[in-house]
Amino acid sequence: MARTIQHRLRDDFDWPLFLVVCVIATLGVVNLYSATSAQTGARAELYIQQIYWLALGGGVAVIVAAIDYKVYERYAYGAYIGSIVALVLVFLLGKSIRGTHRWIQIGSFLFQPSEFVKLCLMLAVARYVHRDQRSGAWSLRDLIAPGALIALPLGLIMAQPDLGTALIVGLVAVSTLSLVRISWRTLGVIVGGGGIGGTLLWLYGLKQYQKERLTSFMSEQVDVQGTGWQAHQSMVAIGSGRWWGQGFMQSTQNQQHFLPDTHTDFPFPVWAQEQGFLGVVIVLLLYLFLILWALRIASLAKDRFGAAIAVGVAALFFWHVVFNVGMVTRSLPVVGVTLPFFSYGGSSVLAILIGVGLLMNVSMRRRAL
């Protein structure tokens, strides 16, 4: 009755998902090679490290895909608690870099728990809200428990502080949560309360420099030499790429060090200057395909939990792309969100590929046994 794993691999393996991830990851490594070519020493070798991480992550993804996701449902809370413990450990024995506590050193590897929190929280939320199906819409009181579930890791990450990751963690969790049916009244209260709270925070909670940081991206009169430097130089790189780009390894903004952090937050401007609008459209369409494909997996999933996982991973990619490209095009404030597969980072690559493994898992198990 049960088909063999070979059959399942042959019949149900999600080739489009596999291929689009391969293509994006390849372009990401190629761009990383160019982006770090202006650096010297260990940084110039980062693209090799990235390949190692991709290989390792690929292996992990295979394992993740092989185990039925029902198992993850069972251990979702355990993973959640584990990730919370890791976040707390960051403060206790974490390594402080540039005044932030984000990493735990394991051997020579800097482990960044917050990357995995995105997945663990998503799993926990998926389990909480989709384990049981109630007949009616969720009330505000019903949302208190999942709200607390989300708020705990969010607070810990914001304390590191890592605004960008907190933002993504929150958005991914809320996206996963958004599959539940919520009454219009509840929604109205949430939106209204959020609006009032945001206004109060803006008026009394934020300091002037924080406000400026949040609004400066909208202004044309940015302080190019100071806080606006990164976004400005990023715009220069993108704008000067025009239709066809200046060619591989030819990004003057990168080669002459005008762009900061091209291996983490700003790989996209390098790509845009070298490959032009054409290259940008290709990459954005690849991401679009990946996200839509993940949503398709969600709608074809055989159960609510699988659908929630797929939606969560789709949200992970979507919000990363939106915020990263948004901030480098001066459409959103610079909050430090990476671009999946284009940004260097062991924890980040591992987390993303685990996400891909989860997608594959749901996709391969979409048909009833």
Closest separation in Å from C-beta 258 to another protein:
5
Closest separation in Å from C-beta 295 to another protein:
5
**Residue 109 pairs with which residues in a beta bridge?**
106
Task: Give the residue with the Cβ less far from another protein, 113 or 279.
Answer: 279
Closest separation in Å from C-beta 199 to another protein:
25
Contact residue for another protein among 273, 348, 361, 363 (CB under 8 A): 273
Would you count residue 295 as binding another protein (CB under 8 A)? yes
Letters for 298-327 (x = contact with another protein by CB under 8 A, - = none) are xx-xxxxx-x---x--x---x--xx--xx-
Please name the amino acid found at residue 29.
V
**Which of the ranges 53-61, 85-93, 231-239, 348-356 carries the binding residues for another protein, by CB under 8 A?**
231-239
Contact residue for another protein among 102, 118, 127, 130 (CB under 8 A): 130
Q: Are 276 and 245 in contact (CB under 8 A)?
A: yes
Contact residue for another protein among 4, 40, 133, 225 (CB under 8 A): 133
Task: Give the residue with the Cβ less far from another protein, 216 or 233.
Answer: 233
Task: Give the residue with the Cβ less far from another protein, 181 or 211.
Answer: 181
Would you count residue 341 as binding another protein (CB under 8 A)? no
Task: Give the residue with the Cβ less far from another protein, 10 or 257.
Answer: 257
Among candidate residues 97, 11, 14, the one with its CA nearest the CA of residue 61: 14
Would you count residue 333 as binding another protein (CB under 8 A)? no
Closest separation in Å from C-beta 226 to another protein:
14
Q: Measure the CA–CA gap between 163 and 332, rounded to whole angstroms.
A: 13
C-alpha triplet 251, 232, 115: angle, nearest 5°: 80
State the alpha helices, DSSP H only, in 101-251. Answer: 113-130, 144-158, 163-177, 184-200, 208-215, 229-239
Return the structure tokens found at 36: 């770090």
Contact residue for another protein among 47, 258, 266, 342 (CB under 8 A): 258
Letters for 175-194 (x = contact with another protein by CB under 8 A, - = none) are x--xx-x-------------
Which residues, 6 or more positions from 351, have their beta carbon under 8 angstroms from its beta carbon?
Answer: 115, 116, 118, 119
Would you count residue 216 as binding another protein (CB under 8 A)? no
Closest separation in Å from C-beta 270 to another protein:
13
Would you count residue 257 as binding another protein (CB under 8 A)? yes
Task: Give the residue with the Cβ less far from another protein, 152 or 286.
Answer: 286
Q: Measure the CA–CA gap between 369 and 359, rounded to whole angstroms.
A: 18
Alpha-carbon distances of 42 from 45, 90, 196, 363, rounded to whole Å: 5, 25, 48, 39
**Which of the ranges 20-28, 49-57, 275-283, 344-352 carries the binding residues for another protein, by CB under 8 A?**
275-283
Letters for 236-255 (x = contact with another protein by CB under 8 A, - = none) are xxxxxxxx--------xx--
* Residue 23: its H or E element: helix 15-36
Task: Give the residue with the Cβ less far from another protein, 156 or 291.
Answer: 291
**334: Cα within 13 Å, side-chain hemisphere:** 22
Return the structure tokens found at 321: 């792309």
Would you count residue 277 as binding another protein (CB under 8 A)? yes
Q: How many residues does the chain have?
A: 369
Helix (H, G, I), strand (E, B) or coil at 366: coil
Q: Are 30 and 54 in contact (CB under 8 A)?
A: no
Q: What are phi and psi of 97, to 5 degrees?
A: -125, 125
How many residues of this chain interact with another protein, rule: CB under 8 A?
54
Among candidate residues 213, 116, 216, 219, the one with its CA nearest the CA of residue 168: 116
* Cα 358 → chain centroid: 15
Among candidate residues 297, 325, 312, 322, the one with its CA nearest the CA of residue 355: 312
Q: Where does this chain bind another protein (CB under 8 A)?
A: 130-133, 175, 178-179, 181, 233, 235-243, 252-253, 256-258, 272-273, 276-277, 280-281, 284-285, 287-288, 291-292, 295-296, 298-299, 301-305, 307, 311, 314, 318, 321-322, 325-326, 329, 331
